Amino acid sequence: MSNDTMCSRYYTQNVEGEDDLMRNAEATRERILDAAMAEFSAYGIAGARVDRIAKTAGCNKNMIYIYFDNKETLFSTILQKHLTRVYEELPFTPDDLPGYATRVFNFAMTNPDLIRLMAWSSLEQKTESPAERGTIHDLKVAALLQAQNAGQVNKTFAPGFLLTAIMALATAWTASNPFGPSLDPDSTKNPDELRNSIAEAVKLITQGDTEKHEQ
């Protein structure tokens, strides 16, 4: 075997080995994120235990500190990751606010872990809210103001109030909400009726009673 052939084979094996290491590292990182999502949504930042996260992820807990430095950074990374998914999957539609509210409702009801994660973030305030979250909020408020000026949304309420009211209505029946199913367990037995009621409520808040005005 020539030296060139040996060098080529060594290089190929080396590259493949590095690729395997990178894939394994990324897989470990994702397992940590998945395990931490379940841990944080159940216990919050203060109650979460790195030992439990490592055990669930099937890795040494030192790996968690190598990837994320500390528990707070791990929490922030998870929150940002899932909020980015929210922004991608739920585009804001100021020209169809009832439709937007129902999409938020559907997402919230099928992603209870994320809603609990956001609740823990607000309650504990041990980490800074992702900067992108504030930026997205401001963009939505600006879009609502533009829709009001264009006559698509009534001006009874300020755009910031409207956005908060819409989000509150759309997420009110999640398990972590103190005024939702915890007080009325039967309220979520008919999600279609609930979804329609939310859409109608948002329509009344943002457009008023159009039938009454037409009369």
At 11 the pLDDT is 46
86 and 170 in contact (C-beta within 8 Å)?
A: no
User: What own/partner pairs with CB < 8 Å and gap ≥ 24 does 67-72 have?
Assistant: 67/28, 67/29, 67/32, 68/32, 71/45, 72/45, 72/126, 72/127
Give me the mean pLDDT over the 72-99 stretch.
Answer: 93
* Whole-number Å distance between alpha carbons of 9 and 93: 56
Residue 206 has pLDDT above 70, yes or no: yes
pLDDT at residue 76 greater than cutoff 70: yes
pLDDT band at 211 (very low <50, low <70, confident <90, very high): very low
Give the model's confidence band at 210: pLDDT under 50 very low, under 70 low, under 90 confident, else very high: very low
Mean pLDDT of 99-127: 91
Distance CA 199, CA 8 (A): 64
**What is the reported pLDDT for 187?**
84
Q: At what angle do helices 112-124 and 3-47 cross, to 10 degrees?
A: 60
**pLDDT, the chain, mean:** 86
Write out the two tokens for 125.
């305030």
pLDDT tens-digit profile of 127-180?
A: 666 778 889 999 999 999 999 999 999 999 999 999 999 999 999 999 888 888
